[in-house]
């Protein structure tokens, strides 16, 4: 098995009733609309399938008043990938929208940073503001998986498979990790919430939900070091991803292992928001 992977993004939800104050610290524009997409990512290499994050389900969406469009597991099935065929799930972190459908993948091994598990089960969760992005039932799912030997812990940097690496960044959450994938166009970094939007890292504007602001800011530079260029970094929630990459039979299913459209990388700040 070669170390060259394909990457498919599945957009399963969106939130359009947001403004720029929900997305950026240190920004003068607080009122302009600023939409958010929600994704999971499928890595494929021959018969090997790895899922990056699991998204959240309809029940979680109803409880948080953030409805989904399609359940992530259902989207995978519609694409011809049964959840049982996924042997590994990389969890970039344990927030509800990244680890909220673990029950749909009951046999997969789960890869998480030690720091994230310790944070999500430790004294910091006594603070409601820090606990808000987490859901207790999801963390209990992780503990149950741990007790049946399905959790693989990483401390810092680790190789999940040849051509698939995880790197601790932190910032947004204590144990946030990004996933570096070798593809036909070189290394691609699935940044998850290390940069929600292109604008976060390209303009140095941090996202408001942050545990360690210094780690978030230094994480922007780490992304560029790991990817080599902005065109090799895929933000975790940016609708511009759908403008940059070709769809695969559905506007909500995208190929990230191919070259993105040109032009987006030559523009910064607000101008990026004007691209079709």
pLDDT digits (tens, 9 = 90+) for 12-29: 999 999 999 999 998 888
Would you say residue 271 has pLDDT above 50? no
Q: Which residues contact 144 (CB under 8 A, 6 or more apart)?
A: none
Residue 276 pLDDT more than 90? no
State the DSSP string of 43-69. EEETTEEEEE---B-HHHHHHTT--BS
Per-residue pLDDT at 262: 74
For residues 2-6, average pLDDT: 92
| Alpha-carbon span 50 to 159, nearest angstrom | 13
Is 70 exceeded by the pLDDT of residue 264? no
Any residues with CB less than 8 A from the CB of 62 and at least 6 apart, and which?
none
| Separation CA 93–CA 178 (nearest Å) | 9
- Whole-number percent of the chain with pLDDT over 90: 91
- Taking only the tens place, the pLDDT of each residue in 41-78 is 999 999 999 999 999 999 999 999 999 999 999 999 99
Measured in degrees and rounded to the nearest 5, phi and psi for residue 14 equal -150, 155
Tell me the pLDDT band of 198, cut-offs 50, 70 and 90. very high
Strand partners, 13: 38, 68
Average pLDDT for the chain:
93
pTM of the predicted structure, to 2 decimals: 0.94
């Amino acid at each position: 098995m070669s170390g060259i992977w394909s990457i498919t993004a599945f957009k399963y939800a969106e939130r359009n009733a947001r403004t720029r104050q929900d997305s950026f610290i240190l920004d003068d524009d607080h009122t302009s609309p600023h939409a958010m997409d929600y994704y999971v990512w499928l890595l494929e290499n021959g018969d090997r399938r790895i899922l990056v994050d699991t998204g959240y389900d309809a029940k979680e969406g109803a409880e948080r008043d953030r409805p989904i469009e399609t359940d992530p597991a259902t989207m995978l099935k519609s694409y011809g990938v049964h959840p049982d065929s996924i042997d590994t799930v990389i969890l970039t972190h344990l927030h509800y929208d990244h680890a909220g459908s673990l029950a749909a993948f009951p046999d997969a091994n789960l890869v998480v940073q030690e720091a994230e598990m310790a944070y999500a089960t430790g004294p910091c969760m006594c603070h409601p503001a820090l606990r808000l992005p987490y859901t207790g039932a999801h963390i209990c799912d992780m503990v149950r998986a741990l007790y049946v030997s399905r959790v693989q812990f990483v401390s810092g940097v680790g190789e999940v498979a040849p051509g698939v690496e995880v790197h601790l960044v932190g910032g947004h959450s204590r144990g946030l990790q990004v996933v570096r994938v070798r593809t036909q166009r070189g290394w691609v970094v699935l940044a998850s919430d290390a940069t929600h939007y292109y604008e976060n890292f390209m303009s140095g504007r941090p996202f408001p939900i942050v545990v360690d602001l210094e780690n978030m800011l230094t994480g922007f530079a780490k992304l560029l070091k790991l990817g080599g260029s902005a065109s090799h970094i895929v933000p975790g929630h940016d609708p511009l991803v759908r403008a940059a990459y070709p769809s695969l039979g559905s506007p909500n299913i995208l190929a990230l292992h191919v070259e993105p459209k040109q032009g987006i990388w030559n523009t910064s700040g607000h101008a990026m928001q004007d691209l079709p």
